[in-house]
């Protein structure tokens, strides 16, 4: 059902784009709009990961890093049946994470230093599993395309006053209405797609790590902190907000038409229901050890209940419901 909704919403976005092109310039305008959109999408398709990571000043984390992030991501990627994505770290106190890339072979997972400071290892595993689910479901590509369509629709709508054809077809009031309503409609479709994919990634992420309550606990902790801590890079680039696991822009709590994410309490409730179906095998995530204000990422690797300085290896199963999860 999630994929059907996404396909339906993508069709609506395409129809809206073609309709605006037709109103602006007739059949020729519709064709030109499609050509422009194709060029924009091609460029964004190949460069989206680098563009987004650069916007957020993300730094690459090499193999065998002292934080153990690559080992954790690699193990969960094997659970998900994915190639190991590149790992990036964003220096911001707001706990958050996102995935990017045009396909699983060219994907990246980025986490913030605030995430490492505030989450336990189990909660972090749930977050990374959620981002890997986005990669496996090709959500990163879908959201890139929808964001590009939304930007192109806004651009075309702003050009409406300069096209005589649109004024002849709709009149001045109709043209002004289109300038405001078309970008709004595109944004609504983009946000609806984002919310649909978030629920699907929550479910698949819980299956990848094997413990829905780890992700549920992480979502609650991230929401609590993200609503109080600013993310300057995200505020400067609000078009990337839909990529994060929790909205970094302090949005309203309810599922409303203009929210890029579902309400966190709704997501948590769905995960707890999933854990109830799994029964006793779904273990809650322990509370994280309090992290110091500075150098917290260095101390994170030990984590709560850690018996050694290394992160346990993740099982190679497919993360099906009822599995023991990554921590042995």
Which residues carry out catalysis?
131
What count of other Cβ atoms lies within 10 Å of the Cβ of residue 325? 26
User: What gap in Å lies between CA 57 and CA 73, rounded to an integer?
Assistant: 20
User: Mapping DSSP to helix (H, G, I), strand (E, B) and coil, where does residue 99 land?
Assistant: strand
The 8-class DSSP code of residue 68 comes to -
Segment holding 153, helix H or strand E: helix 139-158
Alpha-carbon torsion (237, 240, 242, 245), positive or negative: negative
Question: Do residues 197 and 6 make contact, with C-beta atoms less than 8 angstroms apart?
Answer: yes
The residues facing 87 across adjacent strands are 61, 109
Furthest C-alpha separation in the chain: 74
From first CA to last CA, the distance across the chain in angstroms is: 34
The residues facing 112 across adjacent strands are 90
Question: Do residues 243 and 195 make contact, with C-beta atoms less than 8 angstroms apart?
Answer: no
Nearest to 178, CA basis, from 157, 148, 195: 157
Alpha-carbon torsion (240, 246, 251, 252), positive or negative: positive
User: Mapping DSSP to helix (H, G, I), strand (E, B) and coil, where does residue 244 land?
Assistant: strand
What count of other Cβ atoms lies within 10 Å of the Cβ of residue 266? 17
User: What gap in Å lies between CA 112 and CA 300, rounded to an integer?
Assistant: 13
Question: Do residues 41 and 48 make contact, with C-beta atoms less than 8 angstroms apart?
Answer: no
């Amino acid at each position: 059902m999630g994929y059907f909704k996404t396909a339906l919403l993508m069709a609506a976005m395409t129809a809206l784009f073609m309709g605006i092109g037709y109103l602006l310039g007739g059949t020729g305008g519709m064709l030109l709009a499609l050509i422009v959109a194709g060029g924009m999408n091609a460029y964004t398709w190949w460069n989206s990961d680098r563009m987004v990571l650069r916007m957020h000043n993300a730094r690459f984390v090499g193999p065998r890093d002292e934080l153990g992030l690559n080992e954790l991501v690699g193990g969960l990627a094997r659970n998900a049946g994915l190639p190991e994505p590149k790992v990036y770290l964003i220096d911001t106190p707001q706990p958050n994470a996102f995935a990017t890339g045009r396909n699983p072979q060219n994907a990246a997972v980025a986490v913030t230093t605030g995430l490492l400071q505030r989450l336990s290892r189990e909660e972090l595993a749930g977050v990374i599993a959620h981002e890997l689910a986005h990669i496996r479901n090709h959500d990163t590509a879908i959201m890139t395309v929808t964001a590009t369509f939304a930007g192109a629709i806004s651009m075309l709508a702003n050009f409406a006053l300069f096209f005589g054809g649109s004024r002849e077809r709709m009149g001045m009031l109709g043209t002004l209405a289109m300038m405001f309503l078309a970008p709004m409609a595109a944004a609504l479709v983009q946000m609806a797609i984002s919310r649909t994919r978030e629920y699907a990634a929550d479910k698949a992420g819980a299956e990848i790590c094997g413990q829905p309550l780890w992700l549920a606990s992480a979502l609650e902790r991230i929401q609590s902190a993200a609503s109080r801590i600013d993310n300057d890079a995200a505020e400067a680039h609000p078009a990337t907000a839909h990529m994060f696991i929790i909205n970094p822009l302090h949005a309203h709590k309810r599922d409303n038409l203009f929210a890029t994410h579902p309400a966190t309490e709704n997501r948590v409730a769905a995960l707890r229901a999933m854990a109830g179906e799994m029964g006793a095998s779904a273990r809650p995530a322990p509370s994280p050890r309090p992290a110091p204000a500075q150098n917290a990422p260095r101390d994170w690797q030990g984590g709560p209940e850690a018996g050694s300085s290394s992160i346990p290896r993740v099982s190679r199963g497919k993360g099906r419901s009822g599995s023991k999860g990554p921590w042995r």
